[in-house]
Structure 1
């Protein structure tokens, strides 16, 4: 028999026997929640989720309103910092004969499914809020990230780059010109 994970099971919603109407649930999580998932992006943190579940005969629409405060590691300084995120997401569960994921926002669950566990879904939507480049607030400027600004330009690099931009049909003439310049003739 499969063992029940106490931390993950906190995010179960019993759907078997629910009437066709709207329900509201609230969940909270902390570092224990993030330790349950194999990942290296989120160091830890806390979150609150308000779940609105609209149930009808053919599908269940789950709306997640997530407020989180995450501990992240700065990609530039490797310092840990906290960042707040707010997001809203919608996920649809359709009833069918076989469980399968249709899209990232929709999946099929078998008729008679007794409960939904929202832990993985909550985790994925929190993870989507984390930027690809995690910068400590002190490295952010109003003008944006300065990375990518070239400080020194090598003149030979610039000349080679300009020649590459030119029409390739002129390559033979450019080559002839370079040979004559190196021989001292013009």
Structure 2
């Protein structure tokens, strides 16, 4: 938990203006977050905090790499990250998350810890399918092979797509005549 204390910013002593903070993080950050998704990593965060009388605006720029495990081969690999996010912390009488970018905090809040925000931004930037870079080329080749092929078509054929209708079985034709009477 001591590792996460360096991400604490005392906001009660800050004047209403902009401040810049830089953080460097490594494997200890991901170990302290007590999770199993990211094995290792290192990243730098540049934070611009703008405080006003009613809210705090946070602009994050996170760059680095995180260690992941390939879903296909179970080999470890480094995934580059470059994230720009913003967050608004509005002062209020209650604590609540209004949207992904807006949270309410209490008026008497003395400090904020941005470690959870950093971790959330990093996790949300990761690809759903974690593939080692050597497999990504194969995936791209398969996608290119699919280009130009119609796999599924939901629209009715147009005038250019008309195919000659197969001849109707005379038994069905006789039944249609009965139905039309």
Conserved? CA contact 1:94–1:107, under 8 Å: yes
The gaps in structure 2 that reach 5 residues or longer are 147-171, 173-181
State the secondary structure of the residue aligned to 1:133. Answer: coil
- Once residues 43 and 6 of structure 2 are traced to their aligned partners in structure 1, the CA distance between those partners, rounded to angstroms, is 14
1:26 aligns with 2:35: no
Match of 2:102 among 90, 103, 106: 106
Relative to structure 1, is the Cα distance of residues 145 and 60 closer, same or farther in structure 2, using a 3 angstrom cutoff?
A: farther
State the secondary structure of the residue aligned to 1:125. Answer: helix
Paired position in structure 2 for 1:84: 80
1:75 aligns with 2:110: no
Could you list the runs of 4 or more consecutive aligned residues of structure 1 that deviate by over 6 angstroms after TM superposition? none
1:155-175 C-alpha deviation (Å, 9 max, x unpaired): xxxxxxxxxxxxxxxxxxxxx
1:35-65 C-alpha deviation (Å, 9 max, x unpaired): 1224332111101100000100011000000
Aligned length: 153
- Once residues 34 and 3 of structure 2 are traced to their aligned partners in structure 1, the CA distance between those partners, rounded to angstroms, is 15
1:72-120 C-alpha deviation (Å, 9 max, x unpaired): 1011100001121101000000000111111111110101211010000
Match of 1:136 among 118, 132, 142: 132
Paired position in structure 2 for 1:146: 142
Match of 1:54 among 44, 50, 55: 50
State the secondary structure of the residue aligned to 2:120. Answer: helix
- Once residues 45 and 36 of structure 1 are traced to their aligned partners in structure 2, the CA distance between those partners, rounded to angstroms, is 13
The gaps in structure 1 that reach 5 residues or longer are 151-176, 178-186
Paired position in structure 1 for 2:151: none
- Once residues 70 and 145 of structure 1 are traced to their aligned partners in structure 2, the CA distance between those partners, rounded to angstroms, is 26
Paired position in structure 1 for 2:122: 126
Conserved? CA contact 1:68–1:126, under 8 Å: no
Q: TM-score, normalised by structure 2?
A: 0.76
Match of 2:41 among 42, 45, 55: 45
